[in-house]
């Protein structure tokens, strides 16, 4: 009798251990559990840790709550200014309602991927090429809003969308390079012309100053001679100012000095 009682206790203990092994589930820290009892959602979400289910009756689905990084395949489209481009992007999203992510959509990751591709093609058609190249922050916000609007109903929240690269045809790249080169040449010519204008104004002021003060021309001549002589050239060409010739001419035409008796002085 005792042996039969011990056997029954052992059998019950073994059955209890087997039951616990079949009923025990572990939900990780970054997961949430959704319990389906006979096909219907039962109770609240299961928090991380050890949880028990009814074997053969309950089915526990675990949903990852981490941020998912999903690259959007490159989409080819025509911009509003009729330029063919290929644009790829990346979307960051996470599940905020595990029950909705399992019940309201068959595969939320695939749904977000398809919505992201469609939204990216729509953004390409609504934007100009200059916006795709230089105004990406605004386009990222618009793309995020387009993806997040339907995703909220699926229990998914889009955190960020980034356009990674914009690929242009080779002909467009060459045209843009020529345009940039022509623009740089235009700016260089404008700068040179402005420099010539400023130099001509300064030279006119210098000429006016030298005309008012002839001695300034002599000083400038001496500076030029010093600059040329510093080069150690074998030949030195010295220009003679017209003012110096006038001075020498006035010296030669001066009347001879006379003696005290009024007669000319003999040499």
State which CATH number among 3.30.70.20, 3.40.50.2300, 3.30.479.30, 3.40.50.10490 fits the domain covering 67-173: 3.30.479.30
Confidence (pLDDT) at 224 = 74
Q: Label residue 6 exposed, middle or buried (CB < 10 Å: 0-12, 13-18, 19+).
A: exposed
* pLDDT tens track for 75-96: 888 888 888 899 999 999 999 9
Q: Label residue 60 exposed, middle or buried (CB < 10 Å: 0-12, 13-18, 19+).
A: middle
Confidence (pLDDT) at 233 = 60
Tokens of 34: 């959704």
* pLDDT tens track for 169-195: 888 778 878 888 898 999 999 999 999
Average pLDDT over residues 198-207: 86
CA distance 267 to 254: 16
Whether 155 contacts 99, CB under 8 Å = yes
% of the chain beyond a pLDDT of 70: 84
Task: Pick the range with the lowest mean pLDDT from 159-163, 174-178, 224-228, 240-244.
Answer: 240-244
Q: What is the pTM of this model?
A: 0.63
* pLDDT tens track for 132-158: 888 888 888 888 888 888 888 899 999
Confidence (pLDDT) at 91 = 94
Give the start-to-end residue ranges of the domains of the chain. Answer: 20-64, 67-173
CA distance 229 to 238: 11
Which carries the bigger pLDDT value, residue 36 or residue 56?
Answer: 36
Which carries the bigger pLDDT value, residue 8 or residue 24?
Answer: 24
Residue 11 has pLDDT above 80, yes or no: no
Q: Label residue 93 exposed, middle or buried (CB < 10 Å: 0-12, 13-18, 19+).
A: buried
Which carries the bigger pLDDT value, residue 199 or residue 245?
Answer: 199
Under the banding of pLDDT at 50, 70 and 90, the label for residue 266 is very low
Confidence (pLDDT) at 175 = 80
Task: Pick the range with the lowest mean pLDDT from 11-20, 22-31, 177-186, 235-244.
Answer: 235-244
Confidence (pLDDT) at 267 = 41
Residue 222 has pLDDT above 90, yes or no: no
Residue 238 has pLDDT above 50, yes or no: yes
Element (H, E) at 35: strand 31-37
């Amino acid at each position: 009798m005792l042996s039969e009682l011990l056997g029954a206790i052992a059998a019950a203990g073994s059955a209890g251990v087997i039951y616990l092994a079949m009923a025990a589930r572990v939900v990780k820290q970054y997961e949430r559990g959704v319990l389906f009892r006979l096909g219907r959602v039962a109770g609240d979400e299961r928090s991380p840790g050890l949880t028990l289910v009814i074997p053969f009756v309950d089915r526990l689905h675990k949903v990852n709550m981490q941020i998912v990084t999903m690259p959007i395949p490159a989409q080819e489209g025509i911009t509003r200014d009729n330029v063919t481009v290929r644009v790829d992007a990346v979307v960051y999203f996470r599940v905020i309602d595990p029950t909705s992510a399992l019940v309201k959509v068959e595969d939320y990751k695939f749904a977000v991927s398809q919505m992201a591709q469609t939204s990216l093609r729509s953004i390409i058609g609504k934007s100009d090429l200059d916006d795709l190249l230089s105004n990406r922050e605004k386009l990222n916000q618009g793309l995020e809003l387009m993806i997040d609007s339907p995703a909220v109903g699926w229990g998914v929240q889009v955190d960020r969308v980034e356009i990674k690269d914009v690929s242009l045809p080779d002909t467009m790249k060459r045209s843009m390079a020529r345009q940039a080169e022509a623009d740089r040449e235009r700016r260089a010519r404008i700068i040179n012309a402005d420099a010539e204008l400023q130099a001509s104004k300064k030279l006119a002021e210098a000429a006016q100053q030298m005309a008012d003060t002839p001695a300034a021309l002599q000083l400038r001549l001496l500076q030029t001679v010093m600059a040329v002589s510093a080069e150690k050239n074998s030949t030195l060409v010295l220009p003679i100012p017209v003012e110096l010739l006038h001075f020498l001419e006035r010296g030669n035409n001066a009347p001879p000095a006379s003696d005290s008796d009024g007669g000319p002085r003999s040499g």
